[in-house]
Amino acid sequence: MSTHLNSLPACATTRLLRTTLHDRVAGVLIGSALGDAIGLYTEFLPAAHAAEAYPSRSFTLHPCPTPFKLDMHRAPKEPGHWTDDTDHALLLLLSFLHTAGTTTEDGRAPPLPTQHDFAARLRVWVTQGFRPLDTMPLGLGRLVASVVATQGFESEPERVAREYWERTGRRVAPNGSLMRTHPLGLMCLWREESEAFAVAAAISRVTHVDPRCVLACVIGTGMVRAVVRGELQSEGDVDGLIERAVEWYFSEGVLEGQELDLKELWRHVKPDGGLEDLRLDEHAAIGYVYKTLGSGVVLLRMAIRETTMNQGDLFHRAGLFEELIMDLVMRGGDADTNACFAGAVLGGYLGYSILPDHWKKGLRDEKWLLGKVDALGEILGLKDGSYDGKEDKDTELHGGKPALSQEEMEVRWMLLQQATSKKMEDAAKPVSSKGPGWSWSLPWQPRGKGKR
């Protein structure tokens, strides 16, 4: 479908609806980044330790940011920074923007990200960080590190990822592909739902081929697309989307030798006890993909219930994003990833204008990210203006900058280590033995507790 306004669906041609849809698109991208940044406060903490570290159960990013529970996991960052979760999502957005524009020679929609282009961008991130903003590749997990480092990854990423999955016993199903796929739902806003499902499955398999990971990405991408389109107005709508995603998966997405337990899926996306049943801080499984998927689905269900019961109460609606995200992150576990996905879904449902100002104003690089939101809005026909990705240096493989050498990266790691150590020394507080483990390593060495 063309992205020119005169060929958009009739429902998108009025200025009011275009503005509303653009606000939801911004809500997805800013909401996910905010969830990521807020989730960093409690990432890897058990719920009991999170409550002890942050007894007020509230965070602010502006004007006076709430300080982190300072340990070697959080010390390299500052309040308001997003993490690798948002970086990887933005790699997909930049891949799309690079070949996109408000005018095309043949009038067709721009191509969706490919496995090969994303694999190349992911390898650059792993070795050199997020180049457009020159941030370091913090948060590299075991699966992504192992797959990306394997010879042949850039040319045949899915084959390499599948061989890793088989070599590790077909048991690993972390959340590292789900955390990045929400921009795909926006790119497919005017495309068929099945096309959104297909690109989500393909991009998951760049690193994560376990069927649980693939299906979670199919559901998550379809959900983001649907909330922005205004199609999820009831919990029945949510169930219907999940059922369609499962049906598509079994008809189009299954690879030979893959099995899937649907009862386990539904236990996570429709738990009787809500978030409590997800056991998000379960030590051995905090990065399990269904926990992250369930986090987003459960919070969307809660938002639908609240908005249905309080129709017309704008004040209540305005506080809903913060209330639900806080409930989620204070449960600890892989809080940044859980809140990144949930933030994308809630942000699309509620819209950017509803997101709390004292979080938005403290989000690092929000102005840069809003520029990409506007570019996407122009491409989708939701905002006036012109955009040509080929002229946007940020969308290039290295963000329009020279590639960094290994020696240059080693210097950057050393400087970051020194700054982190000084921050810990200045705090003059010993790191609790109960806190999350963290050790310094070069970017090819996996860190964290097996997630991603």
What share of the chain has pLDDT > 90, as a percent?
Answer: 82
Residue 381 sits at φ, ψ, to 5 deg, of 80, 20
Q: Where residue 119 falls among pLDDT bands split at 50, 70, 90?
A: very high
Strand partners for 23: none
Is 84 marked as binding a ligand?
Answer: yes
Judging by beta carbons within 10 Å of its beta carbon (0-12, 13-18, 19+), is residue 352 exposed, middle or buried?
A: buried
Query: Look-up: residue for tokens 């690993």?
Result: 172
| Helix, coil or strand: residue 287 | coil
Q: Where residue 107 falls among pLDDT bands split at 50, 70, 90?
A: low
Q: What is the pLDDT of residue 109?
A: 83
Q: What is the pLDDT of residue 3?
A: 44
Judging by beta carbons within 10 Å of its beta carbon (0-12, 13-18, 19+), is residue 109 exposed, middle or buried?
A: buried
Is 334 marked as binding a ligand?
Answer: yes
Contact yes or no for 444/406 (Cβ under 8 A)? no
Evaluate whether residue 57 is within a structural domain.
yes
Contact yes or no for 413/136 (Cβ under 8 A)? yes
Query: What is the number of other CB atoms lying within 10 angstroms of the CB of residue 312?
Result: 7
Find, among 254, 327, 334, 321, the residue nearest to 293 by Cα: 334
Compute the distance between CA of residue 290 and CA of residue 213 in angstroms, rounded to an integer.
Answer: 8
Q: What is the pLDDT of residue 317?
A: 77
232: containing domain = 5-427
Q: What is the pLDDT of residue 11?
A: 54
Evaluate whether residue 443 is within a structural domain.
no
Compute the distance between CA of residue 329 and CA of residue 39 in angstroms, rounded to an integer.
Answer: 5
pLDDT(368) > 70: yes
Evaluate whether residue 448 is within a structural domain.
no
Does the predicted model carry a pTM greater than 0.85? yes
pLDDT(12) > 60: no
Residue 183 sits at φ, ψ, to 5 deg, of -60, -25
Q: What is the pLDDT of residue 444?
A: 33
Q: What is the pLDDT of residue 438?
A: 37
Q: Quick one: tokens of 360? A: 């938005």
Q: What total of structural domains would you count in the chain?
A: 1
Question: Could you read off the pLDDT of 311-326 as tens digits, one per residue?
Answer: 766 666 779 999 999 9
CA quadruple 361, 292, 115, 157: dihedral sign: positive
Query: Look-up: residue for tokens 């219930």?
Result: 305
Q: Which long-range contacts (CB under 8 A, 24 or more apart) does 53-60 make?
A: 54/330, 57/326, 57/330, 58/326, 59/326, 59/359, 60/358, 60/359, 60/362
Strand partners for 174: 288
Is 135 marked as binding a ligand?
Answer: no
Compute the distance between CA of residue 121 and CA of residue 263 in angstroms, rounded to an integer.
Answer: 36
Q: Quick one: tokens of 428? A: 């003059």
Compute the distance between CA of residue 331 and CA of residue 161 in angstroms, rounded to an integer.
Answer: 31
Evaluate whether residue 452 is within a structural domain.
no
Compute the distance between CA of residue 203 and CA of residue 253 in angstroms, rounded to an integer.
Answer: 12
Q: What is the pLDDT of residue 220?
A: 98
Read off the CATH number of the domain in which 60 is found: 1.10.4080.10
Is 85 marked as binding a ligand?
Answer: yes
Evaluate whether residue 440 is within a structural domain.
no
pLDDT(8) > 60: no
Compute the distance between CA of residue 202 and CA of residue 179 in angstroms, rounded to an integer.
Answer: 15
Contact yes or no for 245/38 (Cβ under 8 A)? no
Is 14 marked as binding a ligand?
Answer: no
Contact yes or no for 292/179 (Cβ under 8 A)? yes
Evaluate whether residue 390 is within a structural domain.
yes
Contact yes or no for 192/244 (Cβ under 8 A)? no
Q: What is the pLDDT of residue 270?
A: 98
Residues 6+ apart with CB under 8 A from 50: 41, 42, 329, 330, 331, 332, 335
Q: Please give the distance of CA 405 from its chain centroid, rounded to a whole number.
A: 28
Evaluate whether residue 446 is within a structural domain.
no
Evaluate whether residue 121 is within a structural domain.
yes
Contact yes or no for 222/185 (Cβ under 8 A)? yes
Residues 6+ apart with CB under 8 A from 237: 226, 231
Q: Where residue 163 falls among pLDDT bands split at 50, 70, 90?
A: very high
Cis status, amide bond into 63, omega within 30 of 0:
yes
Find, among 90, 325, 79, 43, the residue nearest to 184 by Cα: 90
Compute the distance between CA of residue 282 and CA of residue 335 in angstroms, rounded to an integer.
Answer: 12
CA quadruple 355, 356, 357, 363: dihedral sign: negative
Is 277 marked as binding a ligand?
Answer: no
